[in-house]
Copies of this chain bind each other. A is one copy, B any other.
Amino acid sequence: MPAAPRWRTALAKALSLPENKYQNVYQLATIDANRDPRSRTVVHRDFLHPEGSPHLPVLLTTTDARTPKVSQIHDHPRVEITWWMGGSQDQFRIAGPIRVVLSPDVKLESGSSRQEPSLALDRMDEQGFDWEKKRLDIFDSMSAHMKASWCRPPPGSIMKSYDDAKKWPQTVPKLGEAESEEDKRNQEQALRNFALVLVEPVEVDWVQLAEKPNHRTRFTRNGEQWKEEIIVP
């Protein structure tokens, strides 16, 4: 079985260091409808890979299906992640195709003129990976407060006052544990808005600023092979 690429092992190691304790977030850069770059911080949730293919890792984060990034990704399904770990002074820039897994009840208007080639995600599809089960599992692993964040009004819409938020649901129970009609309604809405975001790395640029002189390594996936090059920082 082909091994995980060296950057993947290095990333896991960096992430496990105590000095990087709160660095499980990265910036996700996309393109908007004006063809301008957009970027925001998201929380890393998990690594996946097709069965038998740890050399094809995928990064998993989550979002609300109503955020602008979802339509941006739909229209231009290629992104770059910047994962800066200040504790250990490591930067991983990770570029590749991206996919959003929505609720089966949600359809985006098809505006995409572009299909981004994918290997890991296509293989998981072929292997019958159950994306909806994964979506429900990740949803259920979140706190009751976090679950409630997906039954707010649409993100980015205008409010009269910060205090308007106090009228929104504050918690949503786990799946199978909603008892009141209100809890059931909120859970349904939260689940409808909750989406997985999957990034398949095909190019990784790793800078190690704690090394003196600094190290910088570029990993490029060609087919199933990872090429590794030492480059000038």
**Chain A residues within CB distance 8 Å of chain B:** 22-23, 25, 27, 29-31, 35-41, 76, 78-82, 84, 86, 91, 93, 95, 149, 152-162, 164-166, 168, 211, 213-215, 218, 229-233
Contact = CB atoms under 8 A, between A and B. Distances in A.
A31 B35 contact: yes
Contacts of A162: 211, 213, 215, 230
B36 A78 contact: yes
Given A160-B230, A168-B213, 4 more contacts: A29-B80, A37-B38, A156-B218, A158-B229
B39 A152 contact: no
A30 to B, nearest CB: 6
Chain copies in the assembled complex: 2
A161 B82 CA distance: 25
A189 B93 CA distance: 28
A82 B41 contact: yes
Contacts of A35: 31, 35, 76
Among A39, A91, A211, chain B packs the most CB atoms within 10 A around the CB of: A39
A91 B149 CA distance: 17
B157 A232 contact: yes
B27 A37 contact: no
A232 B36 contact: no
Contacts of A36: 31, 76, 78, 80, 95
B37 A91 contact: no
16 contacts: A27-B82, A29-B38, A30-B37, A31-B31, A31-B37, A35-B76, A37-B37, A37-B76, A39-B39, A39-B81, A40-B93, A41-B82, A152-B232, A154-B232, A158-B231, A160-B230
